[in-house]
Chains A and B, each alone.
Chain A
Amino acid sequence: MRPTCHPLKPLLTLLCGSLFVCAAQAELRPMADNELAEITGQALITLDGLTYGGFEYTRVNLGAEIDLLTNIDELRLGNYSRNQPNTASTQPADIRIDNFALGRVDNANSSNATVVPFQVRDPYLEFAFKVNGQGIREVAGIRLGFGRARGDLSGDIHSLTGNMQGLVTGSASTAREYYMQQNNLNGFTCTFNFDCLALSLAGNAEIYSEIQLVKNGTGDTTVNGQPINRATYIGVPNGSSFNTDNALLSGLLPSIAKNNGDCTASGLPACFPLLNYKSIFVGDRTQSDLSIGGAQGIFFSLQNQNVPWQDLASTNNQFVATQSGAFANFAKSGEGANTIYPFIVSLYEALNGAARVPTCIGDLSKGC
C-alpha cells in the first residue's frame, strides 16, 4: 500500500490503546511460532463484478453464518406516492410489514420456551449501474440478499411488491369440506352441485397449486404487461389451476379448478389476503441442514428502473426481473421434483389463514 496521511492517527492510537487496556483484564498469552504459522489471512469479504443487459454490477459478499431471532415493529420500503394501472392497492408503500419477525419461539408461554433461530448464510450487498442516454454512468439499484436462508418469517404483510412464490397443497376432500361449509351444502345436496361433485370424485387425492402475488378480484399478476406492485393478495394466478399427480384426476382438475379471472377455482377462493399469512417457513422445513434446506436467491432491493438482478438460486444463469421501487424476492428455486419453495402451506392454511408462530417469550406472540 502506498503511503497516505493519517491525520487522526494520534486519536486512533489512543482509542486502540485503551481497548487493549480493557482486554488486559483477561490474561494474554503469547502464541508460539508454530501457532502463528497456522494463521492465514481470512477472506471475510469478496467482491464480484458482472455485466448483463447494459447493466454493470458490483457485489460485496460477506462470509458468515448467522442465527438470529429478531422482532421489528415496522418495515416500510418504497414509501412514496404511486398510482399506476398496475398498482394493485392504495397501500402507501411498496413493502409494508408490521410486526416483522425472523425466527420463532417454541413453548413460548412456559418455562420450556425455546428459541428456534432464523438461519442466514453469506449475506451480500450489491449495486447495479447503468450508463444513461446522456452517456453518464448512474446508480440504478441496490440490493441486500442472502446466499441461503431458512426459518420462520412472520409479519402482518400489508403490501408486498416482488416475487413471492409458494405452494398450496392439500387434499381434495379438504377443499370439498370447505366448499360445502361456505355454500351451505350437505353430502346429499353436494351431488347436485358440479364443483362439489367434482371435488367429491377427487376424494383424498392430493391437489396443489403454485401461488403468487395477485390482484384481488381477478388474480392478475400483470396489468398491461407490467407486473403488479403493492399487492395485498396472493393466490392462484388468473388462468392457472390446482393440479394433481393423481392419474385419474390430472386431466379433469385443471378444467374444474382453474382461476378464470374471478379469484375462484371450483367455487373455492383462489386469492387470499396476504394478512392471512402471518407466518411462513422460508426454505425446506424437513431439511435442517442449511446447505440443503436453505432457500436461495432471497433478496430485498431498491431500483430506479427495471433492473435484472442475477438469480443466485439459478443453475442456468437466470436473472430476476425487478421494477422501479422496492422489491422483495421470495422466489422458488430448482425445477421439478427438486423445486424448493420459499414457503409451502396446507390448503387449510390457505383457506383459513396461517396463524402466526410465537416470536416472543411470554404472553405476547408479537410486538414484544
Chain B
Amino acid sequence: MVGAGVSSSYEPVIGLEIHVQLKTRTKMFCGCPAEFGAPPNTNVCPVCLGLPGALPVVNRSAIELAVQTALALGCDVHNRSVFARKNYFYPDLPKGYQISQYDRPLATGGVVELPAKDGSGVRRIRLRRLHVEEDSGKSIHDRFVEQTAVDLNRAGVPLIEIVTEPDFSVASQAREFLDRLKRMLEYLGVSDCNMEEGSLRVDANVSVRPAGSDELSTKTEVKNMNSFSQLEKALESEVARHVAVVNSGGVIEHQTMLWDPARGEARPMRGKEEAHDYRYFPEPDLPVLELADDAVAAAAGTLPEMPQEKLERLVRQYGLPAYDAEVLTSTHELADYFEAVARLTSDPKLASNWVMVEVLAVANERGSSISDLGLEPERLAELIAMVADGDLSHALARQVLSGMVESGTSAEDVINTEGLRLIKDSDELERWVAETQAENPAEVERYRAGEVKLLAFFIGQVMRRSKGKADPERLRRILEKSLGSDPSEDSAMPDTG
C-alpha cells in the first residue's frame, strides 16, 4: 500500500546553524558597548559605523569565550585561523561586508551526545565547525511607512557560529540538541542565550531521503524561528512539505523558507532572486589569529564542569536518582545551590527534594531566580535539619520557608515570630482530640465499627484546629489511643464477633 507506508519510507535529514552572541562588554572589533537595549545608534564609533578609514581590532575576550565553547563541545581549536570578508549589501551591514571566518575557522569537529531515549541508543551529533564573526545591525521595516530604519547598536557585537553535520533524523532531536547546547553555553557563561532578544538564533537546513539510503537530496533552509518549540514545529512542517512534494512527483527547489509562527507554516522568502555570491577573501585588515598550544591548554584547564559531567557526579556523590540530578543540573545556579545545601545536611535526598520541589516552587511563584530569593543555603539547611529531627512537620516547614523568603530571616526567627513551633504538649493535643471527637460522633462510631481509615480524617480535623502546628507523630498516637479506648468499644464487638 503506497498511502500508508509513505511517511515512514522517507527520513528527514536536518542540520543546524546556530549563531550565539557572546557575553563580552564590548564589540568584536571596537570598544563600543555590546549591551542590548540602548537608544538607537548610540553605541557606535567609526569602526562599527563603517566610516571610511576605520579598522577592526580583535576583542580578546570574544576569542577566549569562543575557544572555551569550542573546547567544551570537543572541537579541535586551530593554532592559526583566518578572518575573512563575506561581501553583500544590506542596509544594516555598514561596511558592505561582514568580518567572519571562512576556509580557516577557529575550530572544527566536535560532538554532542544525546542520551539514549525511547529504546534508541545514544545519538552522536557531529559539529562541522565553530567560528567567530560580527553581528549586523538591525533594519526595522515597520516603524516608518514605506521606509527602513537602521540601528547600528548591534553592528559588530561578537558572535560564534556553530554548524552541525546533518545528523538529525527527527525534529525533536534538534530541539533536544539545542536544549543541551543552550545549557552548556549557560554553564560556560559565554552567552545569555535569549532567543527573544536574539542572542541565540537558529537556522536549519532540511531535506528528506528514502529511509536507509544515503543519497543527497535538495535541501531548503528554514529561518525565523524564535523559540525551540517553534523550531520543532517548523522542522516538522517543512519535513512534511518535502515528503508531500516528493510523493506527488514534484521536485524540491533549493530556497530559503521563512517560518511564520502565526500561521504555522514556512513560506519561501521573496526577493532573493539574486543568486548569492559572497566573494569571501581573507580580511586584509587583520593578521592571522594565532592561538598558542599552551593558551588553548590553559583555557581547557579552566573550563567549568559541563552539565552531563555534573549530572553524573551528583548521582555518584550524593546517591541521587537520575531524575533529581537532571532537574538540579538544568541550570548551573540551581546545581550549585543544591550542592551548597547538601554539604550542610546529612540527608542529600531530603536536600534534593527541598531544593527541586519547594524552593523552585517558591521561586516560580515569585517569578524570581534562586539567588533573588535571598535564601542562603545555611538557612535552608537549618530548616531541613528541623524537619529531619522531627521538630517541624513538612507542612509547617513549608510555611516557615515562605516566611523566611518573605522576611529574609532564619527559620528560627520565623518560627518564633509566627508561632509556628510544633505543639507536642499532650494536654493541648488531648484537648483538641476530645473536642474533635465530641463534634464528630458519627465518625467516631464508624471508626470504632472498624473503618480505621477514618484516622486520617481525625488527623486532618485536629491539624486544622491546631493551624497545622500539632506534632503529627504524637497526635497520631493520642488519636489512636483515644479512639480505641472508648468505653463503648466492647458493645461494638459483638457485631464482628
Chains A and B belong together in one complex: no
